[in-house]
Amino acid sequence: MKINDVVCPFCGCLCDDLEITVEHNRIVAVDNGCTLANAKFMSKEQLASPIRRTGEGWENISYDEAIQYTVDMLLDADRPLLYGWSGTHGEAQCIGVHVSELVGGIIDSTTSVCHGPSILAIQEVGHPGCTLGRVKNRADVVIYWGCNPLEAHPRHMSRYTTYADGYFLQNAFRERKVIVVDVRETETARVADEFIRIKEGGDYAVLSALRAIVRGKGDVVPESVAGVSRSQLERIVTLCKDAKFGAIFFGLGLTMTRGKYKNVRNAIELVDELSRHTKFTITPMRGHWNVYGSNEVFTWMTGYPYAIDFCRGIAFYNPGETSAIDLLARKECDACLIIGSDPGAHFPRGCVEHLAEIPTVVIDPVPTMTTALADVQIPVAVSGIDADGTAYRMDGVPIRVRKVIEPTLPNDREVLKSIHAKMKEAKGQ
């Protein structure tokens, strides 16, 4: 059986044109997907039942035992952290907020280690964004700043920019100019029309120089800014001002380098300057397929997008204090529930060591680096494969993620619902 228009639950592009072939409730072929999508849909590493660490290794336990362990762990903790959420659907994120509130814990998503600074900047100066469809059909200048879509979002350029047809462009491939700004020549830089190589940590200075040139104050810009010549900057500004519609996409090369949220704020203000001459927009390249959804769900439920602390009985938000890495580095939390992310693979060593010391439960379909730190892992159905739900694309468009095979395991939503129900019962609510 072939299933068309399947949504890929891997990266923030949420491509919705995959064709999946299913035989006897097993996926046997994936068409239209990139290599990352193929690996995800064809993965056979799913755990069959919950596991618990013993002295020598692991033992299989029932879902009831695993859920009861999680309930007891969260209720016994003084400062529980519920982390991850970017690799699960919105309905599960919603229950996660309820669980955090009930135990007075902290809920944080992977945002705090990726585009958290983008959100801080947007809170200060707003977000002149648009949909990816608008970029595809209108943009004749596209800038990738501090990101490498050919490797991290493999179909971004073919679906929305460089190689995509545009409704309002006669010959999109020839008309469109692609500019890459990065500290090294990436795969994406090699296919760009113009590559600006900047010195590490020089983003803020280059953005400021571009803004000055757009404003007609180019004479204050020195001959070279962070390794980029003034003549190249002037050429880029001319290209941008001559565009009918320009789009900037930026990644962690901008948000997580020196300057952090100030870089993003400066980029947004550059878009503002350019929009006095033409139309320009800016969009963060979100990584996990539903990290944007975690920000949406947390915001409409608590008022804050990530790093939310309920220990005062109300939602409190102070990234840098209430974000997962800071809590773990201070050894403040005494239990952790991890879902839809793999901090064992990405967090700094001190944080990972603390995770290994405290009771930790992982809800994830497959063994990950975080499994090595956990006491219990609860396998679940995979959203977009054998579980359905709602996700938000990197441009903020909500998309329904369907299941393509029948599940043999409960999904995130069902497991969290059981945990929440048992907690309420224990608290007599």
Report the interface residues with ligand SF4, using CB under 6 A. 8, 10-11, 13-15, 33-34, 36-37, 153-155
The least CB distance from residue 368 to ligand SF4, in Å, is 18
Which lies closer to ligand SF4 via its Cβ, residue 188 or residue 418? 188
H helices within 149-280, ranges in order? Answer: 149-152, 156-159, 172-175, 187-191, 203-214, 230-242, 252-255, 261-274
Nearest alpha carbon to residue 228 among 273, 196, 256: 196
Which lies closer to ligand SF4 via its Cβ, residue 403 or residue 417? 403
Which lies closer to ligand SF4 via its Cβ, residue 153 or residue 176? 153
State how far the Cα of 200 lies from the Cα of 380, in Å rounded to an integer: 41
Reduced DSSP (H G I as helix, E B as strand, rest coil) percent helix, strand, coil of the chain, to 5:
40, 20, 40
Which lies closer to ligand SF4 via its Cβ, residue 11 or residue 51? 11
- Number of C-alpha atoms within 13 angstroms, CB side, residue 299? 10
Judged by phi (left if over 0) then psi (alpha if -120 to 50, else beta), residue 280 lies in beta
| Distance from the first to the final alpha carbon of the chain | 46
The least CB distance from residue 284 to ligand SF4, in Å, is 15
The least CB distance from residue 16 to ligand SF4, in Å, is 9
Which lies closer to ligand SF4 via its Cβ, residue 34 or residue 363? 34
DSSP assignments along 161-174, one per residue? STTS--TT-SSHHH
State how far the Cα of 8 lies from the Cα of 200, in Å rounded to an integer: 33
Which lies closer to ligand SF4 via its Cβ, residue 122 or residue 391? 391
Find the helix or strand (DSSP H, E) in which 99 lies.
helix 90-103
**Residue 191 tokens, joined:** 């296919």
Which lies closer to ligand SF4 via its Cβ, residue 115 or residue 153? 153
The least CB distance from residue 37 to ligand SF4, in Å, is 4
The least CB distance from residue 9 to ligand SF4, in Å, is 8
The least CB distance from residue 201 to ligand SF4, in Å, is 29
Strand segments, DSSP code E, in 279-379 are 279-284, 308-309, 316-317, 335-339, 360-363, 376-378
The least CB distance from residue 369 to ligand SF4, in Å, is 20
